Amino acid sequence: MQYIMPLWPAYSELFLLGMVCVILIADLFVSDDNRIVTYALTQLTLLGCFLITLSTLAGPPVHTFSGMFVADALAGVLKLTVYIGMAMTLAYSRAYLAARGMFRGEFFALSLFATLGMMVMISASNLLTVFLGLELMNLSLYSLVALLRDSRPATEAAMKYFVLSAIASGMLLYGMSMLYGATGTLDIAQIATHIVHGGSGGGEAALVLGLIFVIAGLGFEIGAVPFHMWIPDVYHGAPTSITLLLSSPVKFASFAFFMRLLVQCLQGMVVDWQLILIILSVLSLAVGNIVAIAQTNIKRMLAYSTISHMGFVLLGILAGDSNGYGAAMFYVVVYVLMNLGAFGMVLLLSRSGFEADQIDDFKGLNQRSPWLAFMMLLVMFAMAGVPPTVGFYAKLSVLEAVLNAGYVWLAVVAVIFALIGAFYYLRIVKLMYFDAPQDDAPIIVHPDAQVLISANGLAMLLLGILPQPLLVVCTYAIQYSL
């Protein structure tokens, strides 16, 4: 019996929590003109977390808090990506937030609480911890969406998000209670063992029912069709920085959510959930790609594109082996990078009193700023999956996993929908390069954002030429954790 609980696996969470409190208090003494201090503190906090997590990365899985919390390679890598995603989100958002009066302490505190929630979800090894992390993240996100309290679309989006998310959480809890009823434990590893060894009698039906409810909750979180209805509305209504937050770092947590629940907990029922995921992914690919064509608002378009990308991630997961999970993880990382670039560009083109959220706002960007247009071109071709951008390797690895699992038809369906998807990404390129600008206002980009978007865009190309390191990291995270 171990009496002294090791705290080190959770150092980054504890550090973050401490720093949030510091930031909350420090922010009281900072005037509006010096709000940059809070911003810097937030970025430093993320940097600190990054270093702590990096230093504890290697090694076998360690459980702590009575087995509620686990630090393994998967958690480590995903947390690192969350910090990076979060830091980039904040950097992209700085000018946008300042122009809208949202550059305040609440924003940073809530973002960090959301980050904490994601980290707890990622490190969960007990159904309760999963739920705890999820709710912490979600509550922060609801408030963030509603941060512009006088904006009607934002408030409406927050309400929709809250109500729908509450229902999804309810379903998830219900599913978890079924699992608990069937196995008598909430510990993920114990449930998995119970399913493999002790599954008999009446428990079977409860397990399957539980599984279905859990998948409903997961599907909502990741935005898979038919649980996707909130995505376009919330992405559209929320301030763009919050949309970026919702669609980028949060996706890592959603992926961890899948890994912890479906793979680590319910791997024994892979045959059952594989079929459900096939349906979800094909529907997501179809609805996401087809509906995106009709959008005129780029945030809505990217929302539907997110849905279709999540369809691809599900394809990787449903392959049902570590190969597939690695591919799905690679896809998520690449997707988040692309998404950061795309929404980052929307943020950079927006200015005080002007939201560059219409697709037509990209018209003639090549004449206004050839460099930004080129970066957006790289991001768009990456999203369409055209080599030599990294988006191609993401699709390649997922398709490889799917074909390896024997689903040739599924791969064909996926590429056909990817082809349909290519159309609306190309349309953005077309607007930027082939059309005349509608808007002659100079594009003012802060140096830090300029560097960031350049790095982000060129990463599409560089990771496309050398995808091996990222692939290795993803494979490593999956293989050493499952």
**Rounded to whole angstroms, how far apart are CA atoms 236 and 450?**
25
Q: Which two tokens stand for residue 461?
A: 């190309």
71 pairs with which residues across the strands?
Answer: 62
Alpha carbons 36 and 329: distance in angstroms, whole number: 34
CB of 114 to another protein, least distance (A): 32
Residue 318 beta carbon to another protein: minimum distance, rounded to whole angstroms: 16
Provide the minimum distance between the beta carbon of 477 and another protein in the complex, in angstroms, as a whole number. Answer: 13
Q: Are 244 and 343 in contact (CB under 8 A)?
A: yes
Residue 77 is encoded by which pair of tokens?
């890598």
Q: How near is the Cβ of 399 to another protein at its closest, in Å?
A: 5
Rounded to a whole number of angstroms, the minimum distance from the CB of residue 423 to another protein is: 6
Between 163 and 408, whose beta carbon lies closer to another protein?
A: 408
* Nearest distance, CB of residue 113 and another protein, angstroms: 36
Rounded Cα distance, 186 and 128, in Å: 7
Taking a C-beta distance cutoff of 8 angstroms, is the pair 459, 339 a contact?
no
Bridge partners of 358, per DSSP, are: 297
Helix (H, G, I), strand (E, B) or coil at 69: strand
Residue number with CB closer to another protein (161 or 433): 433
Q: Which is nearer to another protein, 26 or 462 (CB)?
A: 462
Closer CB to another protein, residue 177 or residue 450? 450
Binding-site ranges for another protein (CB under 8 A) = 366, 370, 381, 386-388, 392-393, 396-397, 399-400, 403-404, 408, 411-412, 415-416, 418-419, 422-423, 426-427, 429-430, 433-434, 467-468, 471-472, 475
Nearer Cβ to another protein (117/467): 467
Closest approach of another protein to the CB of residue 54, in Å = 22
Of 117, 113, 112, give the one whose Cα is nearest residue 131: 117
Beta carbon nearer to another protein, 52 or 318: 318
Q: How far apart are CA 371 and CA 369, in angstroms?
A: 6
Q: What is the number of helices (H) and of strands (E) in the chain? A: 20, 2
Task: Report helix angle 249-258 to 127-145, nearest 10.
Answer: 160
Between 154 and 378, CB nearer to another protein? 378
Length of the chain: 482
